[in-house]
Structure 1
């Protein structure tokens, strides 16, 4: 094998971790040369990297293991498999007195490993995701190597790009056919998650600061987030408080303060309603739905999502709110120019109806009538607008703001949300 290309000796050696994880399944990296060992991207905040590499089966047993994962029967000793490794190496000092953001990141990698090892294996073929080849989640405590190496979090997955070669890793709007394929994937995924519910409150991962305290007492969740996503209000209090004080933002008054006869701010009501509480229409959500987290087949008739760090309980429409704002072309949502206030338009409705049709195909689907679904959708838009207003707008900003202005001007929505929240 070629020489290591890692520049920082204090960081866990990705080559050694990959070798250790794969050896349990009679697999080994083909080479550590640049031709076979390619960094794909850095993780957010300098928390590690994603590496593409090839592994070969060192025995018939290793080949059989991979063929079972891939649903094939043609492997043999020496067969080569394209893989992806996600290795988490926290920046120096980030774990000594971690911020809420640091805690969120580290917990999210635990959640992602749980998803791939415990939930992804139950997904049918028409909800494609990568297969987990090996993970440090079940690796025995290491007794050799540096302290940093023993603390690493790593996961090796099959490479989705073999069957889904169209890459949207650079932020971009999607084609019409890919949008419909994404809605199909999401509808099926959300529907499948009814098999995983109800959740055990003692197993789920709480908001980062709360979870950190729980784990000090050797408690704490070990599965998915209690509230899927990373934008919900309970974990974005500092940004919300800053928005409350921002006199220059129209959303400070519209979302963060009492509104007329309504004493509870719209953002607080929306967040309360969207929080997991065991209702029949709740599902697991992906939590970070955008074009950068998906691949598509060549003809666009199927997509596969990845990056399940924020999978958890929620309402499927919360996944749609981000998708529509960040990755769906505005021309698929509204004709012509966007007015200051905008009610649901026929194009937007057609996309929602497509998703809802897929969602309710399963025999386990609860009663979910259109009017209630639309109220949930409106509430998800209000919640997503609150996050963007406090963090920074991007995507179909004009459309999102116009839709939320319309929702907040609807007395029917206020009456409904105050009753339901």
Structure 2
């Protein structure tokens, strides 16, 4: 897909540029729903901007191809909803988010077209992406998550269990993450792990009714973080699945993208404990800044045991969606069993 010339010209005009020097393709969007490009600009105050151009097919369109074969009307509708959520995020939240994210410069919607014009993070100093990272960069991502979760934390008794402030009024997912149970009935239906299948609703309830809820990024994998050249600071992108939830969902998804599963379970457990220590230390410090009335120690006491529950919830999705995926392994199975045993579920081996 190529972004229409009239759209490119509109973007240049909207940010005060004289023209566009070149268009750099970054990637096509999932299932062929659009394109992400960098526009190198002539004139104006910005040397470049990022453009996310989304052209939504109808439910029967042959262009809506899912890489793993999940071509259903439900999958299509979930994608439509996810792009609308991202639009709402950039309209109402991004420019007020203290954890580094692309600032929103322009949002337009017309019928099945969505245009997002965003700050170019590479110009802001976050020019690097990594397929693997060193420990200091890993901790930088966890600190980003901690700051994000702390800013949008909801205190005890301020809302009903399972809700997060303003998700409905500003159009975010009521429950964030792309694997949320209510949005994945097809994957649950084909799940062969009957023990995990029978516990799915219980796992979801424990996470959604914990007394501390926040906004979760919802897809906090390594590929969605941009790093400074030194690797000691990060910004995050891709907010299609941002919404309410327990912060452990983001932490487990992130660690699933950086852990070396070829190592022993014991080694990974030790690494994860150190990561959780770093995350909760940063979270408590950030809570003092954003919500000093919330007891950070109590948040850790409530959330830390939910790390394995969040992973079991993710494992429920993965084993239905792609049973041979590399994220299903000895370590993740042990975490799922730990979560199920904490619920009093008998594990059939």
> Does TM, normalized by the shorter one, top 0.5?
yes
Count of residue pairs brought into register by the alignment: 324
2:264 to 326, 334, 337: 337
Shift of 1:187: 0.2
Question: 2-side partners of 1:351 and 1:396: how far apart?
Answer: 20
TM-score normalised according to structure 1 size: 0.69
Superposed displacement of residue 389, structure 1: 0.9
* Deviations, residues 93-152 of structure 1 (Å, cap 9, x unaligned): 54799711111112211211221221111123xx21111111105xxx6xxxxxxxx531
**Partner SS, residue 48 of structure 2:** strand
**Is structure 2 residue 119 aligned with structure 1 residue 186?**
no
SS of equivalent residue, structure 2 residue 337: helix
- SS of residue paired to 1:30: strand
The structure 1 residue matched to 2:94, chosen from 117, 120, 137, is: 120
Q: Contact 1:121 / 1:131 at 8 angstroms: preserved in 2?
A: yes
Number of the residue aligned with 1:375: 305
Q: Which SS does the other structure have where 1:345 is aligned?
A: helix
CA distance in 1, matches of 2:5, 2:329: 43
Q: Which runs of structure 2 are paired with 1:3-402 in the superposition (5 Å)?
A: 6=2, 13-31=3-21, 36-57=22-43, 78-91=44-57, 94=60, 99-124=73-98, 127-137=99-109, 151-162=112-123, 163-168=125-130, 172-194=131-153, 204=167, 222-243=170-191, 246=192, 252-256=193-197, 265-275=198-208, 280-330=211-261, 337-338=264-265, 345-361=269-285, 362-363=287-288, 364=291, 366-367=294-295, 368=298, 370-392=300-322, 393-395=325-327, 397-402=329-334
8 Å contact 2:36–2:50 — kept in the other structure?
yes
Specify whether residues 92 and 166 from structure 1 end up closer, same or farther in structure 2 by C-alpha distance, changes over 3 A only.
same
Listed as ranges, the gaps of 5+ residues in structure 2 are 65-71
Q: What RMSD in Å do the two structures reach over aligned CA positions?
A: 3.0
Q: 1:94 to 1:181 in 2, by over 3 A?
A: farther
In structure 2, what is the Cα distance between the partners aligned to 1:356 and 1:230?
A: 24
1:109/1:309 contact within 8 Å kept:
yes
Q: Is the 8 A contact 1:49 1:88 kept in 2?
A: yes
Structure with the greater alpha carbon radius of gyration: 1
Alpha-carbon spacing, 1:152–1:184, altered in 2? closer, same or farther (3 Å): same
Per-residue deviation, 1:157? 0.7
Q: Could you tell me how far apart the structure 1 residues matched to 2:304 and 2:89 are?
A: 29
The DSSP-based 3-state class of the residue aligned with 1:269 is: helix
Partner Cα distance (2:299, 2:26) in 1: 43
SS at structure 2 position matched to 1:161: coil
Instruction: Give the C-alpha shift of residue 375 in structure 1.
Output: 2.2
Which whole-Å deviations, capped at 9, do the CAs of 1:217-275 have from their partners, x for residues lacking one?
xxxx65210000110111111111111xx3xxxxx13212xxxxxxxx32220012223
Q: Could you tell me how far 1:30 is from its partner in structure 2? A: 2.1
